[in-house]
Amino acid sequence: MHTQTISELRQQLDRGEVSATEVASYFQQRIETLEPKLNSFITTTFDSAQAEAKAADEAMAKKETALLTGVPIAHKDLISTKGVLTTAASKMLSNYAPPFDATIVENLRAQGAVSFGKVNMDEFAMGSTGKTSFYGVTNNPWNTDHVAGGSSSGSAAAVAAGLVLAATGSDTGGSIRQPASFCGVTGIKPTYGRVSRFGMIAFASSLDQGGVLAKSAEDCAIVLEGMSGYDPKDPTSANRELPAFSKMLDLSLKGIKIALPRAFFDCGLDAATAKAIDETLAIYRQLGAEFVEVDLKYHDLVTPVYYVVAPAEAASNLSRFDGIRYGYRAENVQNLEELYDRTRTEGFGQEVKSRILMGTYAKTEVLYQDFFIKGQKVRRLIANEYQEILKEVDFIAGPTVAGGAFSKDHKASSIQNSLFDANLIGANLAGLPALSHPMGMSNNMPVGFQLIGRAFDEARLLAAAHQYQLNSDWHKKRPADFA
């Protein structure tokens, strides 16, 4: 059952061949059996999942089926769930159960999704390995000695291992697309403003965007349709008509123009990834797509700009975790200054502390103009460059990252890892939708292909990936130990 797509499960449920309760029991058993190999979940919610499945069966009996009625999902653990631990994979929030649901959670529940809990991630979404989690690293189901990527590590691993059919994620600088590539699943970061950020624990507010990881572009379309939409509770939410993504997948690629930035391919690709790229481009070409090579003048500045803007925003966002209102609080302190100092020293992990320091430094009076303001100006140049290219072409494409997932003992700083992931960050700085889909293997690990689209053009992005997947089997391949 777990190898099915959401659309296949939907048909079985609608025909009455299986009940939502039976589906829930099956996936609960898979999680209980296989999760110890992965460490992809932080909190499981089996009791509420069974209750939601029962409600799904009652809805289907009344012919009141929604997009995701009875479909098993999980939420990244920075998406607030009422009464359920929401830790952002940090000691700082290890005892925090929000008094409200994020809009994403409300929307997906309204569409009948059955949530099995909260999945692991890099602490406060800072990292690209899954190794910065207070709850331990998430293992890659293709090889449990390798990382699952990050920051949405648990989301990607749980979907790849068939523990759920889809999972929510967030993407600040590639945090959906990179683990999707590493785990051989499809992941989409929508346009900034397409999905409400209300109830999503913030990292960098001008870059963060909720999205989805699933096996296929079609599954991503179904879930994204269910979770998107205008939300007055989020001041950055876009008040735009929401397309029915799941019904807009029959796009002809004939005459579609795709830009291939030279810099995307000049990132130290290994031979197997380069071969997978050639084969992928050949399929798109057979489907009628036309390619044009372009230069990204500011590509080398993408990572430096990100490491000014994102930490600066993170330093502000994380200042609320002070031991006073909620979350972890240091004990046996003598005064307020010691409370702040020890709470934040003990509550945050090393990666988070380093980014807070980096961001605070960039905003000091001496450096504010030269770092933060200059970073924002260059960000505008990067965004303009992407938008200018997308006036001439339909998509920008290339390898998602330079190769497959590395082993857990791989030693590299977060900045070195971001250079490996440099193809990802531009879409965040420009607020554009971007998707990664599986395209092949390198050293027995999956590798992904990235498509970046025009603002609010998720429908065509998903449709292009879907057309590729109708002519490819990479998204159907499963890690042997989780088949």
Q: Within 10 A of 52 (CB to CB), how many other CB atoms are there?
A: 22
Q: In what order do the strands lie in the sheet with 434-442?
A: 41-44, 114-119, 72-76, 166-170, 210-214, 186-189, 434-442, 445-453, 395-399, 257-261, 290-294
- Evaluate if residue 2 carries a pLDDT over 60: no
The catalytically annotated residue of 19, 76, 133, 418 is: 76
Homologous superfamily of 6-252:
Amidase signature (AS) domain (3.90.1300.10)
Taking the CA of residue 139 as centre, how many other CA atoms within 13 Å lie in the half-sphere pointing to its CB?
15
Classify 427 as helix, strand or coil: helix
Predicted confidence at residue 374, as pLDDT, reads 96
- Evaluate if residue 234 carries a pLDDT over 90: yes
351's torsion region: left (phi>0), alpha (psi -120 to 50) or beta?
alpha
Lowest pLDDT segment from 253-262, 411-420, 439-448: 411-420
Confidence category of residue 420, pLDDT binned at 50, 70, 90: confident
Round to whole Å and give the CA distance between 408 and 117. 25
* pLDDT tens-digit map of 85-127: 999 999 999 999 999 999 999 999 999 999 999 999 999 999 9
- Evaluate if residue 468 carries a pLDDT over 90: yes
- Pick from 397, 182, 375: which is nearest to 280 by CA? 397
Give yes or no for a cis peptide into 115 (omega within 30° of 0).
no
* pLDDT tens-digit map of 64-76: 999 999 999 999 9
- Residue 74 is classified by DSSP as E
Residue recorded with tokens 């997009």: 67
Round to whole Å and give the CA distance between 191 and 244. 15
- Helical H segments across 77-176, by residue range: 103-110, 153-160
Confidence category of residue 138, pLDDT binned at 50, 70, 90: very high
Confidence category of residue 326, pLDDT binned at 50, 70, 90: confident
175 given a catalytic annotation: yes
- Pick from 227, 232, 233: which is nearest to 189 by CA? 227
Pair 403, 442: CB distance under 8 Å: yes
Pair 178, 423: CB distance under 8 Å: no
Mean pLDDT on 352-365 = 94
At 338, the amino acid letter reads E
Round to whole Å and give the CA distance between 272 and 289. 23
Predicted confidence at residue 415, as pLDDT, reads 59
- Evaluate if residue 9 carries a pLDDT over 60: yes
Predicted confidence at residue 418, as pLDDT, reads 61
The catalytically annotated residue of 128, 133, 153, 175 is: 175
The catalytically annotated residue of 90, 151, 152, 155 is: 151
Predicted confidence at residue 347, as pLDDT, reads 96
Mean pLDDT on 418-443 = 92
Predicted confidence at residue 1, as pLDDT, reads 59
SS (H, E, C) 26-70: HHHHHHHHHHHHHCCEEEECHHHHHHHHHHHHHHHHCCCCCCCCC
- pTM of this structure: 0.97
Mean pLDDT on 196-219 = 97
- Evaluate if residue 142 carries a pLDDT over 70: yes
151 given a catalytic annotation: yes
Structural domain boundaries in the chain: 6-252
- Evaluate if residue 207 carries a pLDDT over 80: yes
Torsion angle (degrees, nearest 10) of CA 264, 471, 394, 219 = -90
Round to whole Å and give the CA distance between 82 and 48. 12
Round to whole Å and give the CA distance between 114 and 74. 8
What would the DSSP string read from start to end of 296-332? -TTHHHHHHHHHHHHHHHHHHHGGG-SSSSSS---SS
At 98, the amino acid letter reads P
Predicted confidence at residue 177, as pLDDT, reads 98
Length of the chain: 483
Average confidence score pLDDT of the chain: 95
Predicted confidence at residue 483, as pLDDT, reads 80
* pLDDT tens-digit map of 273-282: 999 999 999 9
Predicted confidence at residue 414, as pLDDT, reads 63
Pair 249, 218: CB distance under 8 Å: yes
- C-alpha torsion sign, points 451, 222, 432, 151: negative
Tell how strand 143-147 and strand 114-119 pair up.
unpaired
Round to whole Å and give the CA distance between 304 and 351. 17
Predicted confidence at residue 267, as pLDDT, reads 79
Mean pLDDT on 393-409 = 95
Within 8 A by CB and 6+ apart from 307, the residues are: 358, 415, 418
Pair 94, 136: CB distance under 8 Å: no
Predicted confidence at residue 410, as pLDDT, reads 80
Predicted confidence at residue 248, as pLDDT, reads 98
- Evaluate if residue 3 carries a pLDDT over 80: no
Mean pLDDT on 15-42 = 97
- Evaluate if residue 388 carries a pLDDT over 80: yes
- Evaluate if residue 417 carries a pLDDT over 80: no
Query: What percent of the chain has pLDDT above 90?
Result: 93
- Evaluate if residue 480 carries a pLDDT over 80: yes
- Evaluate if residue 131 carries a pLDDT over 80: yes
